[in-house]
Amino acid sequence: MNIRYYNRGTAIWIDFRIGGERYREATGCTVQLEAEKQVPRIISECVAKAAKAQVAPILPETVKVAQVGGLTLREAFKKGMLEREKWIESKDKDSINLSAESVMKYWGEETTVNTFTRELVLQWRSEMLKAPGKRAGSTLTHSTINHRLSMLTTLLEVAGAAPHTVKHLSTKGNGRERRITDVEVEALQQWLEENNWRTGAAAMGQLVTLGLETGARAGELRGLSWGDVGTDTLTFRDTKNFSSRTIPMTETAKYVLASRRASTVQVGPFSDLSKDRYVELWDLARKALGLGLDVDFVFHGLRHEALSRLSDSGANGPVIQAIAGHSSIVTTQRYIHSSLAAMATAMGIK
């Protein structure tokens, strides 16, 4: 019998088949040598259950009668990679593969799409909310969890299964608690200037400034071509929701892009700054500033800050939504964190 071991963080599980039926069982152990000692007992219990009740494969902690037919998760993923061109183009391929592998590692790549029920997915969601994160004492980020849920939704849709079992189960989001301050931005820019000998540091400093001036995503800024830069406007074509948008440029934004045009002969203003390099520079800077464990001090926080500044200046929701390129005003509302000064002004307090 072929037995596969995999670690879910809190315990080692085993995956095996009996008479063609697939079983996944928790061993209750965190060390594989100890887990191996539990295998005979677990298999015996499963054989007894199968003989007595002829139950279908056991999914994590839940007995579920499988429905026959449908693509497997692996087959659905391969089909999606061939058919979903916009989905593939809009996301980083490494992120797509990582999310897909995480989904298939938990459920098993040979699990058919007809197996899923809302109850099973809710259980998975609950386990992910408690699963350990990258840093000691942390848990998986809501962004990571939502990416995995989104991946499963896509796989079900590609396979023609009802996606209602997964949709609308996304978590509350990153729950950003604060805004990035002027002091932090100045310290960040100073570090980048002092470390301009590092490859990409100068471009990174200008990317930070442009992020605050436009409220654009890092990927949108790095994806700009010189053809997208007008005299007074910027057009973002490589966007998250597939639709392009054009916004006016501030004088500061014009100055930054003029500097980039004079210093680079690349296809676009930031085409010489790879994703890996900008992520590495940000991580180096945040650690140098003592903010290595601050979950709110991320590049995307600049987008929150920029949109919050627009709100503080008196811009209304629909205008901010248009500048941000959000498909829903509800999303825009999550990005706006009004300052006390702006609230005092709105209340007529001097």
Shared domain check, 265 and 127: no
Shared domain check, 57 and 81: no
pLDDT of 203: 94
Shared domain check, 296 and 233: yes
Q: Which two tokens stand for residue 41?
A: 């007992």
Cα(309)–Cα(257) distance, rounded to whole angstroms? Answer: 21
Contacts of 18 (CB under 8 A, 6+ apart): 1, 43, 46, 47, 50
Residue 292 within any structural domain of the chain: yes
Rounded average pLDDT over 172-193: 83
Q: Which two tokens stand for residue 294?
A: 């601050």
Shared domain check, 286 and 188: yes
Shared domain check, 83 and 59: no
User: Please, is 329 exposed, middle or buried when counting C-beta atoms within 10 Å of its C-beta (0-12, 13-18, 19+)?
Assistant: exposed
Shared domain check, 155 and 32: no
Shared domain check, 94 and 124: yes
Rounded average pLDDT over 291-307: 88
Rounded average pLDDT over 330-347: 88
Where does a domain end: 17, 41, 63? 63
225: domain CATH number? 1.10.443.10
Q: How would you list the strands of the sheet with 58-59, edge to edge?
A: 4-7, 12-18, 21-26, 58-59, 62-63
pLDDT of 171: 55
Residue 175 within any structural domain of the chain: no
Average pLDDT, the chain: 82
pTM: 0.59
Residue 177 within any structural domain of the chain: no
Shared domain check, 109 and 150: yes
Shared domain check, 196 and 130: no
- pLDDT band of 28, cuts 50, 70, 90: confident
Shared domain check, 91 and 226: no
Residue 174 within any structural domain of the chain: no
The helix-helix angle for 201-214 and 275-288 (nearest 10°) equals 90
Range of the domain at 44: 4-63
pLDDT of 87: 63
Cα(228)–Cα(18) distance, rounded to whole angstroms? Answer: 59
Residue 281 within any structural domain of the chain: yes
Where does a domain end: 131, 165, 199? 165
- Specify the range with the lowest mean pLDDT, choosing from 37-51, 52-66, 305-319: 52-66
Shared domain check, 45 and 79: no
Residue 176 within any structural domain of the chain: no
Where does a domain end: 139, 165, 191? 165
Residue 68 within any structural domain of the chain: no
- Specify the range with the lowest mean pLDDT, choosing from 45-49, 252-256, 263-267: 45-49
pLDDT of 168: 53
Structural domains counted in the chain: 3
- 285 has pLDDT over 70: yes
Shared domain check, 340 and 226: yes
Residue 288 within any structural domain of the chain: yes
DSSP category for residue 160:
T
Q: What is the pLDDT of residues 115-164, one digit of tens each?
A: 777 778 888 888 888 888 776 777 887 778 888 888 888 888 888 876 55
Q: Which two tokens stand for residue 209?
A: 């400034």
Q: Which of 270, 214, 271 is nearest to 245 (CA)?
A: 214
Q: Which two tokens stand for residue 281?
A: 């520079």
- pLDDT band of 23, cuts 50, 70, 90: confident
